[in-house]
Structures are given as structure tokens and as C-alpha cells.
């Protein structure tokens, strides 16, 4: 993030096939704050079609209490369009 002066991330979880809820609290409390400190402002998160992975994503967002702006999507094209607007 710092090296490329990037403020936006497109995260594609469409190939995630299982639950990863054990990492949700760490992602929300550590990873997102660290990424925000490195310059992250907008995070487009494309859901996995796997219901348990989707639940893990939602759980992560419950632990994410401050910046960045995170939006979830069901497809890449909509996520890309959102990031371009930001």
C-alpha cells in the first residue's frame, strides 16, 4: 500500500470454498487497522459463493469498527465499478 501509494483494494473471494471464521477477529482488529495505517481507504470485497465463507466475511466486518470503507459484492464487475467511483 505504501510503496504504490494505493488507497483501494479489490478482494476476490470467489474461489474460497470453506469457512475461515477463526481469522475473522484478527482481520477486523489487526489486519484492517494495519492496512488503513498504510493508506487503505476503500476495500471492495467480492463474496465467495460458499455460504460459510460469506458468513466468515460478514463476521470479519463485525470486528472492523473504523476505517476503511468496506463494501461487499456478489460479482467482480460491480465491485470494480464501485472502486472506480471512489
Segment 21-69, tens digit of pLDDT: 888 899 999 999 999 999 999 999 999 999 999 999 999 998 888 778 9
Query: Is 3 contained in some domain?
Result: no
Decide if 49 is inside a domain: yes
- For residue 60, being part of any structural domain is answered with yes
Global confidence as pTM: 0.89
3-state secondary structure of 28: helix
Say how many domains are in the chain: 1
The whole domain housing 23 covers: 8-85
2 located within any domain: no
Residue 1 lies in a domain: no
Helix/strand/coil for 14: coil
Nearest CA to 31 out of 55, 74, 66, 71 is that of 66
Amino acid at each position: 500500500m505504501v510503496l504504490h501509494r494505493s488507497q483501494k483494494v479489490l478482494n476476490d473471494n470467489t474461489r474460497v470454498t470453506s469457512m475461515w471464521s477463526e481469522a475473522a477477529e484478527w482481520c477486523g482488529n489487526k489486519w484492517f487497522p494495519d492496512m488503513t495505517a498504510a493508506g487503505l481507504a476503500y476495500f471492495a470485497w467480492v463474496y465467495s459463493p460458499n455460504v460459510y465463507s460469506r458468513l466468515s466475511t460478514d463476521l470479519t466486518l463485525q470486528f472492523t469498527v473504523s476505517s476503511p470503507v468496506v463494501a461487499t459484492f456478489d460479482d467482480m464487475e460491480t465491485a470494480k465499478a464501485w472502486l472506480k467511483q471512489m
